[in-house]
């Protein structure tokens, strides 16, 4: 459990970390080495049955891409995070995160670390209903992922455009637990074939 006014913590490669952010605080995610995707989920601190939910978010935005100033909503359609500062602009709110089945089914690897289990582990320090937790870790924002939509409506997964030190900042609109997984996938361009660490800073 990491709490405090200002917290900066490393999210080791292939692992996740969760932090608490108070309403009004900013949450900055740094790609330390470059070309790394982070899977971000959030749960309300005052009522842990409320979590960031991308389905109402997509409906409210009526867009495939997030833009600076956009609000991410909860399962109760209340804003939980705002995309405050986004110099990179490549994120995804459609594809979800990797789970153990992604590696089993798509790559034939069992027991691979994955964002879903990482986020569940990171959220274990708080008392959150199991069903809510399972839903929250499926409703992730893929920070820095580079999914390009072509003119035929097909997405293409490319390497992230981020370089070492690039960052994105969200603003907490309610008190929240925010969990970030440094995606462990090395089998696709998702993380430039080499998962590395990230950093999360709350201030």
Work out the end-to-end distance of the chain between its first and last CA atoms, rounded to an integer number of angstroms: 16
Q: Judged by CB under 5 A, does residue 136 bind Zn ion?
A: no
**Nearest residue (CB) to Zn ion, 49 versus 147:** 147
Residue entry with tokens 């690897």: 109
Ranges within 164-183 binding Zn ion (CB under 5 A): 183
Binding to Zn ion, residues 18-77 (CB under 5 A): none
Q: Is 140 in the site for Zn ion (CB under 5 A)?
A: no
| Least distance from Zn ion to the Cβ atom of residue 106, Å | 12
- Single out the residue of 13, 52, 72, 98 in contact with Zn ion (rule: CB under 5 A): 98
Q: Under a CB-based contact definition with an 8 Å cutoff, are residues 194 and 24 in contact?
A: no
CB 150 → Zn ion: shortest distance, Å?
23
SS3 121: helix
Task: Compare residues 85 and 197 and give the one whose CB is closer to Zn ion.
Answer: 197
Q: Please choose, out of 49-57, 66-74, 113-121, 171-179, the segment that lies near Zn ion by the rule CB under 5 A.
A: 113-121
- Grouping H, G, I as helix, E, B as strand and the rest as coil, residue 167 is strand
Q: Which is nearer to Zn ion, 28 or 187 (CB)?
A: 187
Q: Which is nearer to Zn ion, 83 or 98 (CB)?
A: 98
Nearest approach, Cβ of residue 181 and Zn ion (Å)? 6
Taking the complex as a whole, the smallest distance from the CB of residue 33 to Zn ion amounts, in Å, to 16
Smallest distance from the beta carbon of 114 to Zn ion, in angstroms? 6
Among 18, 52, 115, 123, binds Zn ion (CB under 5 A): 115
Long-range contacts of 82-88 (CB under 8 A, 24+ apart): 82/170, 82/171, 82/173, 83/168, 83/170, 84/26, 84/169, 84/170, 84/171, 85/168, 85/169, 86/168, 86/169, 87/166, 87/167, 87/168, 88/144, 88/161, 88/162, 88/166, 88/168
Count of residues that bind Zn ion according to CB under 5 A: 4
Residue with tokens 């991308």: 54
Of 8, 46, 42, 24, nearest in space to 143 by CA:
42
Verify binding: residue 137, Zn ion, rule CB under 5 A: no
Binding site for Zn ion (CB under 5 A): 97-98, 115, 183
């Amino acid at each position: 459990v990491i709490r405090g006014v200002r917290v900066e913590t490393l999210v080791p490669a292939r692992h996740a970390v969760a932090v608490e952010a108070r309403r009004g605080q900013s949450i900055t995610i740094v790609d330390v080495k470059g070309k790394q995707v982070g899977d971000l989920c959030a749960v309300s601190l005052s009522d842990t049955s409320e979590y960031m939910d991308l389905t109402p978010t997509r409906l409210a935005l009526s867009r495939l891409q997030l833009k600076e100033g956009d609000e991410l909503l909860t399962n109760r359609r209340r804003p939980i995070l705002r995309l405050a500062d986004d110099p990179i602009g490549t994120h995804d709110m459609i594809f979800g995160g990797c789970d153990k089945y992604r590696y089993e089914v798509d790559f034939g690897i069992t027991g691979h670390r994955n964002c879903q289990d990482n986020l569940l582990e990171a959220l274990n320090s708080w008392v959150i209903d199991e069903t809510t937790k399972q839903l929250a870790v499926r409703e992730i924002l893929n920070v820095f992922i580079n999914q390009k939509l072509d003119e035929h409506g097909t997405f293409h997964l490319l390497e992230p455009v981020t370089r070492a030190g690039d960052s994105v900042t969200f603003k907490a609109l309610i008190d929240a637990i925010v969990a970030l997984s440094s995606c462990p996938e090395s089998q696709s361009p998702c993380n430039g074939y080499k998962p590395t660490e990230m950093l999360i800073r709350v201030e």
